[in-house]
Structure 1
Amino acid sequence: MPCTPETTIFSKGTRTTKEVAYVTAGRLIQQYQQFCLSKGIDFIRIQSVRPHDDTTLFCSAGMQQYKPLFSDPSHSGTVANSQACLRMGDLDEIGDGTHLLHFTMLGLFSFREMTVGNAIDFSLEFLGTLGLVPDHVTIHPDRLVEWTPLYGARVPIVPDPECMWSDGSISGYCTEFYKDGVEIGNIVNPLGSCIDVGFGVERLDMIVNGTPQDDALGTLCETVMTIVESGYRPGNKEQGYVLRKLLRRIHKMGGTLDHPFFKEEVERQKRLRAKYLRLRDRHSDMSPDWWFDTHGIDLSDIRESMEE
């Protein structure tokens, strides 16, 4: 099964669903950019998933590059962006219609300048330009009394003790926006003095334009190409290891990818499997670390492939 999405027919030609999604998502980003610029807010667009610090292998959130500014009490200002992100934590949930590995976040970051009320007004106004009104929003119970009036009865409010966000070093209470049962965005109040607004482009595209999400195989292929286009190659460590892991999973699922890295990884796995079968009886008591460090063989992958 190739990583080729189904075809959708349009009056001006034939486009794959992925090509359609690229166009409609691009329009959403452009619309958000124009909205921010109309408010006098500088906007930058980042399409690489390279991390902005060494806390993650890939950029996992639009706020990552701004952490020093959040933490600097002398800095004030507001900026907006669109940031390509990659989170491997959802690997086992992809294909369910809402979870992705690679996605784009629309962000607004204010450092001791905008208030939570300002951010709520900004967010609801932007959603309004898309013809969206949230079905409801959630607020942490500890902020319910303070933040509920900021919505001014414009949208139903549901208390949610899970409305906390943290990247491990910076945290804050948050309020989340829901449409058709899907979280489409949130506002975090980092350190109690800053603002971090985020909207997922792909989820907005799904709600606004009816663009379907990729199946699991399509998601894997898109993620692989995003990693490659961000400048990474397959390897045994860090980002390279993640790339190899995803290539192996595509192959295991019966997919294929028209890229040399995929073909090289398939051949590499065949060689490693043959090598393991040749050596396993002589080294049956050796640890997985020994196999990996000495021969580059990941026992979990080899044994998994032998069970297929």
Structure 2
Amino acid sequence: MNTEQIVGTFVEYFEDRGHRRITGSTLLPPPGDPVLFITAGMHPLTPYLEGRPHPLGRRLVNVQRCLRTTDLDEVGDATHLTVFEMLGTWSLGDYDGPSSLDWGYRLLTEGLGVDPGLLHATVFGGDDQVGPDTDSLRLWQDLGVPVELTVEDNWWSNGPVGPCGPDSEIFMWTGDTPPESTPTQDDRWVEVWNHVMMRHRRQEDGLLVPLPQPNIDTGLGLERLASLLQGKSSVFECDVFDPWRRLVPDLWPLDERSLRLVHDHLRSAVVVIGDGVRPSNTGQGYVLRRLVRRVLTTLWRDDPTRSLGDLPLELVSHTLDHFHQDLDPGHVRRLLLEEELRFGRLLERGRSVLARPRFQRPLGEEDFHYLHDTHGLPRDLVISLREQPWPTGESGRS
């Protein structure tokens, strides 16, 4: 199955079981929300998880695009992306955890064709405030799926305070041998689907109080699921990256990890721009700026003449179409090129400033503040310029 077929199968399966699809998706949080971007499918639903009636009812399904900056340093491995899509289902005070897990198991094995022998589950084993999740444990035992009990790995929260609860995670074996060991002991077990029994709210004093209603919140990453179903060894080999793998390596020859970073960050930048964000020095705009600059840092490491002006419009169009964003691909590429020119000028200024005798010694906090406030040089750029020998001459087309 390609990703579109996976989405169709997932949504139809849960619609057949009484779920209503939430339409529309954006990376931008609701007004007044302190986070910069949506990081999980449950984020826009927080008021309804805490008791407010949802206009579509108590059973919901959707596809939510998400952005996580916490994983930027992991991008380039087999499983992490900056922007990704999350398939999700919710029970707002309706059915229980075992029902959700049973549906999840049957969709994976019967609807998507996963071999049941390649699955492993983990379940919350209990702590000093909440007992073990015996209902989920019994469900997996009845289905014949091996189970591992953990504590911290199977407790879900979206922060130090707020809705939380035990979860049960479904893992799929990716090794080239028969399954062995357990998910916490062998990273060849890859997490596919998380089912959260969201029953509690953690207060500022750390104590748990019951939510007005017990909820079920499930989520699985579309690209990760697609790569597993398509027999690929990384998310960058699933079908959504086909045009990137076809066009970018010939344009910009790079090692595999660098190629993955370029694919991920440029694709993410296009999606962020498609949702209305523009580069700036603060907030959402700075996340976009950082993504573009990380790409340019990678591209210019070996060849300072590389330019985002050469980015094929096909890649921009493909990304905008996949995420259902109505924006001119040429306009997106022009925005990226303008940001490249700004960064090129900043690099030249940075080289000049850091060549001064004052900065030929280890830098302290006062130096970093001065370089940022006086010369507009952010800390990460200063560190990069000092640690890595940048090519001399023009950067890109600046």
Shorter-normalised TM-score: what interval?
0.7 to 0.9
Aligned to 2:156: 165
**Candidates 159, 162, 168, aligned match of 1:175:** 168
2:342 equivalent to 1:268: yes
Partner Cα distance (1:299, 1:74) in 2:
46
Going from structure 1 to structure 2, the CA distance change for 1:283 and 1:54 (only over 3 Å counts) comes to farther
Going from structure 1 to structure 2, the CA distance change for 1:61 and 1:68 (only over 3 Å counts) comes to same
The superposition leaves residues 121-173 of structure 1 with CA deviations (integer Å, 9 ceiling, x where unpaired) of 22112212001235210001122433212231331111122101100121110
Q: Number of aligned pairs?
A: 286
Aligned to 2:83: 102
**Candidates 212, 235, 238, aligned match of 1:213:** 235
Alignment of 1:12-27 (within 5 A): 24-27=2-5
Aligned to 1:199: 220
How far does residue 290 in structure 1 lie from its aligned partner after superposition?
Answer: 4.2
Tell which deviates more after alignment, 248-257 or 114-123.
248-257
Partner Cα distance (1:251, 1:149) in 2:
51
Alignment of 1:241-280 (within 5 A): 241-254=286-299, 256-257=307-308, 258=311, 259-277=333-351
Q: SS at 2:28's partner residue?
A: coil
**Candidates 16, 24, 41, aligned match of 1:62:** 41
Aligned to 2:278: 233
2:141 equivalent to 1:148: no
Equivalent AA in structure 2 for residue 200 of structure 1: G
Q: Is the 8 A contact 1:252 1:305 kept in 2?
A: no
Identity %: 28
Aligned to 1:138: 122
Tell which deviates more after alignment, 288-297 or 278-287.
278-287
Partner Cα distance (1:218, 1:74) in 2:
40
Tell which deviates more after alignment, 147-156 or 110-119.
147-156
Equivalent AA in structure 1 for residue 146 of structure 2: P
2:14 equivalent to 1:72: no
Q: SS at 1:191's partner residue?
A: strand
Q: Is the 8 A contact 1:83 1:104 kept in 2?
A: yes
Partner Cα distance (2:52, 2:273) in 1:
37
2:283 equivalent to 1:301: no
Name the TM-score, length of structure 2 as normaliser: 0.66
How far does residue 254 in structure 1 lie from its aligned partner after superposition?
Answer: 1.2
Partner Cα distance (1:187, 1:126) in 2:
14
Unaligned runs of 5+ in 2: 127-131, 174-188, 201-213, 237-259, 301-306, 312-332, 391-398
Name the TM-score, length of structure 1 as normaliser: 0.84
Q: Is the 8 A contact 1:46 1:84 kept in 2?
A: no
How far does residue 55 in structure 1 lie from its aligned partner after superposition?
Answer: 3.3
2:94 equivalent to 1:113: yes
Partner Cα distance (2:358, 2:25) in 1:
46
Alignment of 1:281-292 (within 5 A): 281=356, 287-292=367-372
Greater length-normalized contact order (CA 8 Å, ≥ 6 residues apart): 1
Going from structure 1 to structure 2, the CA distance change for 1:150 and 1:265 (only over 3 Å counts) comes to same
Partner Cα distance (1:72, 1:170) in 2:
11
Partner Cα distance (1:236, 1:221) in 2:
19
How far does residue 198 in structure 1 lie from its aligned partner after superposition?
Answer: 0.9
Partner Cα distance (1:102, 1:228) in 2:
12
How far does residue 263 in structure 1 lie from its aligned partner after superposition?
Answer: 2.2
The superposition leaves residues 212-244 of structure 1 with CA deviations (integer Å, 9 ceiling, x where unpaired) of 422222111111111111111110001111111
Partner Cα distance (1:103, 1:279) in 2:
38
